[in-house]
Amino acid sequence: MAEKSIVFEPEDRYNAFLTVCNKPPHTDGKLAGIAVAVKDNISTRGIETTCASRILKGYVPPYDAHVVGLLRKSGAAIAGKTNMDEFGMGTTTENSAFGPTLNPCDTGRVPGGSSGGSAAAIAAGMVRMALGTDTGGSIRCPAAFCGITGLKPSYGRVSRYGLIAYANSLEQIGPMGKTVTDVSTLMEVIAGYDRHDSTSHNKPYTHTPKADIKGLKIGIPAEYFGPGVDPAVAGVVKKAIGRLEELGATTVPCSIPSMEYALAAYYVTCTCEASSNLARFDGVRYGPAADTKKQWHDAYQEVRRAGFGTEVRRRIMLGTFALTSGYYGKYYAKAQVARENVRKDFQRIFDGVDVIAGPTMPTVAFKLGEKSDPLSMYLADILTVPANLAGIPAISVPCGKADGMPVGLQIMGRHFDDERVVDVAYAYEQAVI
Amino acid sequence: MVSEKDVQHIAELADVGISSGELGTFTHQFNQILEYFDQLDAVKGDAAAIKDLYNVLREDEIEPSLPQEEVLRNAPAKEDGFIKAPRVM
C-alpha cells in the first residue's frame, strides 16, 4: 500500500495535545486519512508516550499498542498524543505534569478527566475522533463535560496490550468522537480478540447504529437522581429520557443498593492495582536516570519522588497501605465483595430491562482549581465507577446544557451488549439533531 | 487513624519518598480517605464465586523479538548491552 500523509497543524489553545504529529502518514482503509488523536498512556511506536508524567518524559515506545496497530491498518493518521491526568489518576486533567487542559466550552473550567485532552481536541474541532481510556469514568466524564460522545466498551472487548497499566481489572481503551457514528466507526476498528491480552474476548464489533428503540425497556435507578446530583443536571437528563420515551421506549424505576459502597470499593481496588503496576517506574529501563551509585531504595525513592506527581504518589501509598498484611481483609477483600454486589445488582436489573440510563456526572464541569481536596474529587466519580466495577459497557452522549455547560446522558448495558448502548445513544442523537 | 510515622513508613515501603514538609498534608488526607473507606466494614456478602473459568493459555511459540538496541534505547544507563541498575548489596 502506498504511504501517504496529511498535514495536521491545529491551533491548540486548550493544551489538549502533549505531542502533535504535523505530517502523520497513513494508508488506505476505512479511516483513510482521518486524523485520530491517541491518549498519551497508549503506546505509539516512535512517538513519545509519557502518561503526562515526568517519570516517562522522553520515553519513546519501541512497539505499538494493539489498538494503535489496528488504527494504522485502518488508514488512520495518528495526529498526536493527548493530555491527561497523570497515569489516568484524576477527574479533571489538572493532574498533568505538563499543565492542565482547558475546556473548549468555557476555558475557566476543566474538561473532565482523565481523557481530557482527547475530549477537548474533539470539542474544539481539532480532530473528529480520538482514543481515550476509562478506569472509573475517564472517557465518559470528559465526554460529558466537553459535550462530545464517548464509549467505555465492555471489559474484554478491546485489547489492553500496550496500554500503560494503571488498574488492569477496571480499565478499557475506548472510542471518543463528535457523533455517535464516529464513536461506532472507531469502535469497529479497535474491538476484537488479541492474543497478547489474556482478558481479551473474541467479540468483534461490526455494527451500524440503528435509531429504532421501539419497545426498549430502560431502567432508571433512583441513586442516579438522588442527593449529590445537581438538580439542574438531573432535570436535563430526565428530559432526555422523556425524549427516549417519545421514541417508543418505556422506563422502569429500579435501584442499585450496592452503590452505597461502590465508590470506596472502586478506590480501594484501583489504588491497590496502581501500587503494583507503577512499581516498574524506577529510572532503570526508562525515564530519568536512577543514581546507580546509590543503594537501590535510595535511588528509587529519589527518582520516584521527583518523577511522580502528588496524586500518583498518594494513590501508590494508599494502595500499598491497603494491601499490607494487617489491612488486606479490611480493605481489599471487602472491596471485592462490594464489587461482586454491584455486579449482582446489575444482573438482577438487566433481567427486567435492556439498558439503564442516568446522568454521566453529578454536576457540570468544575471550575479550574475547584477540586483541590482529593476526597471531594473522588466523590465526583460516583455515577461512572459502577460500570467499571461490573465490566459493562457505558456510553455518554450530549443531552443539553445546565448553567450553559454540556450535560451527558449515560446509557449502560449488559456485558458485551455495546451495540445496544450505541443504538440508544444514536436514537437520542438523531432525535435532537 | 494513621500517624505521620505510619505514612513515612508506607512511603518508604512504596519507594515514593516523602519530605517532612509533605508529611502533615499527606497524613491528614490519608485519614480523610481511610475514614471514607471504613464504610466497607458494613459490606455483607461473599466475594465473587469463581465460575465459568476456562484456560486462555496458548502455546508458547518463539517469535522474533525486538532488536537489542531498540530495547535498550530508553534505558538511561547501560553498559556492554546491559541495563545498569543501582546497587542491591
The confidence score (pLDDT) of residue B50 equals 72
B86 lies in some domain? no
Nearest CA in chain B to A199: B56
The predicted-structure confidence for A285-325, as pLDDT tens digits, reads as follows 999 999 999 999 999 999 999 999 999 999 999 999 999 98
pTM for the full predicted model: 0.97
Residue B17 domain flag: yes
**Residue B71 class from Cβ within 10 Å (0-12 exposed, 13-18 middle, 19+ buried)?**
middle
Q: Is residue B59 part of a domain?
A: no
Nearest Cβ partner for A60 among B16, B74, B84: B74
Strand locations in A179-312 (E): 217-221, 250-254
Range of the domain at A332: 12-433
Q: Please give the residue range of the domain that contains residue B34.
A: 4-42
C-alpha cell belonging to residue A410: 449515560
Question: Is A272 a member of any domain?
Answer: yes
B37 reaches A (C-beta below 8 A): yes
The SS3 call for residue A26 is: strand
Integer CA distances (angstroms), A264 to A189, A261, A276, A317, in order: 34, 6, 19, 16
ipTM over 0.90: yes
Contacts of A115 (CB under 8 A, 6+ apart): A39, A82, A84, A93, A130, A132, A133, A134, A138, A139, A142, A150, A176
Mean pLDDT is lowest, of A70-74, A244-248, A322-326, A422-426, for A322-326
What type of residue sits at position A402? A
Instruction: Calculate what percentage of chain A has a pLDDT beyond 90.
Output: 98
- Count Cβ–Cβ pairs < 8 Å, chain A vs chain B: 158
Does residue A381 form part of some domain? yes
SS3 A56: helix
Q: How many domains, in total, are found in chain B?
A: 1
B20 touches chain A (CB under 8 A): no
Is residue B26, in this structure, part of any structural domain at all? yes
Whether residue B48 lies inside any domain: the answer is no
8 Å CB contact between A45 and A63: yes
The set of residues, in sequence order, having a beta carbon less than 8 Å from that of A207 and lying 6+ positions away, is: A184, A187, A188, A418, A419, A422
* A154 within domain boundaries: yes
CA dihedral A348, A224, A419, A116 (to 10 degrees): -140
Q: In angstroms, what is the C-alpha Rg of chain A? A: 20
Note the pLDDT of residue B48: 67
Residue B68 belongs to some domain of the structure: no
B24 touches chain A (CB under 8 A): no
SS3 (DSSP) at A16:
coil
Spans of chain B, pLDDT less than 50: none
pLDDT per residue as tens digits for the range A69-79: 999 999 999 99
Return all residues near A223 (Cβ < 8 A) that are at least 6 apart: A255, A256, A259
User: What is the domain-level CATH number for residue A249?
Assistant: 3.90.1300.10
Asked if the model's pLDDT at residue A216 lies above 80, the reply is yes
Residue B79 located in a structural domain: no
- Region A210-224: mean pLDDT is 98
So what's the pLDDT on residue B89? 75
Residue A66: pLDDT over 70: yes
Q: Between these two residues, B47 and A218, which has the higher pLDDT value?
A: A218
Active site residues of A: 39, 114, 138
Average pLDDT over chain A, rounded to an integer: 97
pLDDT band at A204 (very low <50, low <70, confident <90, very high): very high
AA identity, residue A201:
H
At residue B44, the pLDDT reads 87
Buried b (16+ CB within 10 A) or exposed e, A115-149: bbbbbbbbbbebbbbbbbbbbbbbbbbbbbbbbbb
In angstroms, the separation between the Cα of residue B4 and the nearest Cα of chain A is 13
B84 lies in a domain?
Answer: no
Q: Are B2 and B34 in contact (CB under 8 A)?
A: yes
Nearest CA in chain A to B30: A318
**Do the Cβ atoms of A59 and B32 come within 8 Å?**
no
pLDDT confidence band for A1 (50 / 70 / 90): low
Q: Mean pLDDT across the stretch A189-209?
A: 96
Return the residue of B nearest to A314 by Cα. B26
Task: For residue A363, tell me if it sits in a domain.
Answer: yes
The tally of domains found in chain A comes to: 1
pLDDT at B52: 78
Mean pLDDT, rounded, for A280-286: 95
- The answer for B 47-76 residues in CB contact with A (under 8 A) is 47-48, 56-58, 66, 70-71, 73-76
